[in-house]
Each structure stands twice: as structure tokens, then as C-alpha cells.
Structure 1
Amino acid sequence: MDPYSSFLLENEDSEVPLGFRFRPSDVELMEYYLLRKIKGEQLASNFIKDLNVYQYDPPQLPLSQFKNAIKNEGYFFTMVKRKKFLNDNTTRTTPNGYWKAYNENIPMYGAKGIIGFKDKYSFYDGKDPNGDKTDWKMIEYRCNPSLVPAASTSGTENYIVCKVMHKKKTEEGETVLEGNVEDENM
């Protein structure tokens, strides 16, 4: 079995009715998935997989295996360490490239105020800073640390959700998710 197929077999029988897709809002990702994962609580579904996305280049990620998600889109729980370079943008490296932030620390608001933050990334093939920009995009979601009880933070404060998408340019220059209109939140 290949290195990332084994995690797909865990509880993959979670089904949604025909025509429905797993497309949580930012608030839903934070409150119903990430915060509960950090606290060690039971999750409502297994649609977000545990995988260190930075161990793989984006084409190696099993996006086609997310049968209940939008085509060419997948969600992953992973742990991160902040790494800063001269321009102070966050960069995440992979075996053959890097994710470079283009919009960071965007606050997300829920009923309790700021519930978390999101950072937007583009993927570049090659070594930083001379890589070639690709059609791959990612959004990292992280919880507001003040919402995580101190007893729950034994290293889990670096737990995030990554939404990875493969976007393509049309002949007219418009960006679209393959088979779908562009995500309004990008």
C-alpha cells in the first residue's frame, strides 16, 4: 500500500446524501473540527484526514480520494512550526518546493469574537525564493489560543487544518477550481 492510502481507509464509510458536498465554512472548520480535535473531543465525521501535508508535494496529495468534497479539494489536520525568512512571510517547505504565504493572519469571527486565523498560500516548484508559481493554493486555519484550555495545549496549539486546492486558469484568464466556479473566500 502506498504511503498515504492507509489513512484513507479509516472510517471512510461516512457518507453524505447524493448531491451534497463537504464544504464547511471557516467558522465550522474552527468550532466543529479544529477546536474539538485540539481538545481531544469526538468529531462528527472523518472528512478531515490526519496527514502532514508538508511531507509531500501537492500533486502527491490524495485529493481525488475525498469522495465527499469538491473536486480537487481536500482537508487535512497537521502540526506546524512557524518559520520566518527575511521578508517575514511564512514559508512551508516540501520535498521539491515550498508554500509561500500571500495573505496572513486574517481574523475569523464567531459568536465569541475572534475564534481563529487563516493564512493563504501559493505553491512554488523549486527552491525559495526562485521557485516557479503553480496552480496549487492552500488555506491554513488555526485556533485563537485563548479559546484552547491550558490542559489541552500539550503541543496541540500548533495543530491546524489545511484546505488544499488545485486551481487552473481558463483561456480567458479566470481562475477556477477544476469543474467548479472559484471559491469566493480565496
Structure 2
Amino acid sequence: MEDLPPGFRFFPTEEELVSFYLRSKLEGTRGALHGLIDRVIPVLDIYEFNPSDLPQFAGYLCRRDPEQWFFFIPRQESEYRGGRPRRLTTTGYWKATGSPGFVYSNNHIVGVKRTMVFYTGRAPNGGKTEWKMNEYRAIEGEATSPQDISVVATQEFSVCRVYKKTKTLRSFDRRPIGDIIGSSSHTFQQNTMPNDGRHPQDMTSSRRGSPPPTERASSSADSSSASGDHGTIPSQAGGLGSGIDIEMLPGESELSLQDWEQFWSGPN
């Protein structure tokens, strides 16, 4: 399992991160897959570490990836008491930037995305670094518009993507066109299942779609959606996965700042 083929890259879309990986983790379903998912995206309190230390704790599919790393973040005790998460490390802090965005699946909102930047030192005089993070939280059910989102207690886990800001397109902005290994459960098993003969019976379908494809990096045509940290990724963009569309909130959001803080921090 550790002997991945040359050029193998872990390319989950944001829809897949929320609808498949995070939902499966939160709901405790897909029992036979649970241990596998933890190997792909491990549970880690990333705020206990400095960003440069995080790659060594990444899952086996992206441990050697030079660009991005994924983790499930456990809910902090302060959040259980209705407080805000503590995002301080020994050398700095994570600061939210911009407005929250939505993660769509089949034209329905399934999650909320928050982008953060790591600063060294202490606020308000910290120094901005090239380290960034997208944190994703699932909403209750699905919503067709921002007004329909239920502001509920924070779940036990969120999922994050940690990466370093560069002047070039990051790997999740250039998913290969036409080089998808497969969206079937057979392909998913072939590329991610341990070589011990186990074959989970409940991995053939997702409550919101098929298991996410894994892809090989391609040196040929690359997708150049250049989504950056905001904006919209067209659902028809080649190689980006079906039904995905990330939309940032407008300046005058239908949801108040207090509502968003409640969604992100849990009820008082």
C-alpha cells in the first residue's frame, strides 16, 4: 500500500472532501472504510503544531506531496462550552481571511469553507506567512440557498487542507483533464485499499454520490481553473469532478456575521 505508482497524486475536490470524507467521518458509516479514511486523512489537532511540522503527519496518500496536506480537526473543548476555537501555536496563529464560502453538490449547499492565513508572532503585530488553510464544515442536511442553511452546533470534526501559497497554480487548481483513474468503487479499492484481502461491501456508493476518484498527476493538459482561495469553479470544468461549484458569499450576506460566528463556533 505504501508503494504507490510513480506520479500518483491525491486529488479530492472540495465537494468530495465534504460529501464523502467528512460526512463518512461524522456519521460513522461505511464501517469497513473508517480505518482506511483515517489513513488517508488522519485526525490531528493542527493547532498544536507549526505549519511546517504538519506534512510529516499527513496521510500516506499525500505524505510526500510538496503542495497540500489534509487533516480532520477534532472539536476543541472550548467549543463544547460555546466558546471559539483557539488557533494559537507556539510560534504564531491562524487568522481567518475573507468571507465564508459554500461547497455545492448537485446545486445544493453541503458545506461551508473558511480560508485562513498563518501569522508568526502574536496579534495584532504578527507577520504574514505563505502558509494557508481551507477549513470545511458540513451543514445539517442540504440547502439550496444561503437562507436555508441551518445554524447548528459544530460537529465533532471539520476537515482542512493545508498548503503553501505560491505564484503557480496549486495542485487542486490543476486537476488533470481526461486522466481520472476512475470513479467506480473498483478503481477506488484498487488504488486505496490495503493489500490484505479486505473488500468493504459498503463502499460502492455514497449517500450523495459515488466514491471520489483518485488520479495520477499528468504532464499533459492540465485544468487551469485558477480558483485560488475564492471565486467560482464551474461544474463543467474538465477534470474537476461533477457537480462541484464553490461560491463565495456576497459582501452583503443574507446571513449576519453573528450567524456565521455561531455556525463556526457552536451555540452559546
TM-score, length-scaled by structure 2: 0.50
Structure 1 residue aligned with 2:158, among 157, 160, 168?
160
Separation in structure 1 between the aligned mates of residue 6 and residue 71 of structure 2, nearest angstrom: 23
**Runs (4+) of structure 1 moved beyond 6 Å?**
180-183
**2:121 equivalent in structure 1:** 126
| Greater strand content | 1
Structure 2 residue aligned with 1:61, among 35, 54, 62?
54
Asked if the contact 1:142/1:161 (under 8 Å) is kept, the reply is: yes
Separation in structure 2 between the aligned mates of residue 15 and residue 38 of structure 1, nearest angstrom: 29
1:117 equivalent in alignment to 2:112: yes
TM-fit CA distance, 1:18? 2.8
**1:103 equivalent in structure 2:** 98
**1:37 equivalent in structure 2:** 25
Identity %: 33
TM-fit CA distance, 1:49? 1.1
Structure 1 residue aligned with 2:42, among 41, 46, 49?
49
Greater C-alpha radius of gyration: 2
| CA RMSD between the two structures | 3.2
TM-fit CA distance, 1:57? 1.1
- Structure 2 segments unaligned to the other structure (5+ residues): 143-152, 175-223, 230-268
Q: Which one scores higher on RCO, CA 8 angstroms, separation ≥ 6?
A: 2
SS across alignment from 1:144: strand
Change (3 A) 1:103 1:15: farther
Within 5 Å, give how 1:56-95 maps onto structure 2: 56-63=49-56, 68-69=61-62, 70-80=65-75, 81=79, 92-95=87-90
Asked if the contact 1:105/1:117 (under 8 Å) is kept, the reply is: yes
SS across alignment from 1:165: strand
Q: Deviations over 1:125-151 (max 9, x none)?
A: 01111100011010001101336xxxx
Separation in structure 2 between the aligned mates of residue 37 and residue 112 of structure 1, nearest angstrom: 23
TM-score, length-scaled by structure 1: 0.69
Q: Deviations over 1:60-109 (max 9, x none)?
A: 2135865533413110001244866xxxxx87222221111112421111
Separation in structure 2 between the aligned mates of residue 104 and residue 27 of structure 1, nearest angstrom: 19
Separation in structure 2 between the aligned mates of residue 129 and residue 74 of structure 1, nearest angstrom: 27
- Structure 1 segments unaligned to the other structure (5+ residues): 1-12, 85-89, 148-154, 169-173
**1:136 equivalent in structure 2:** 131
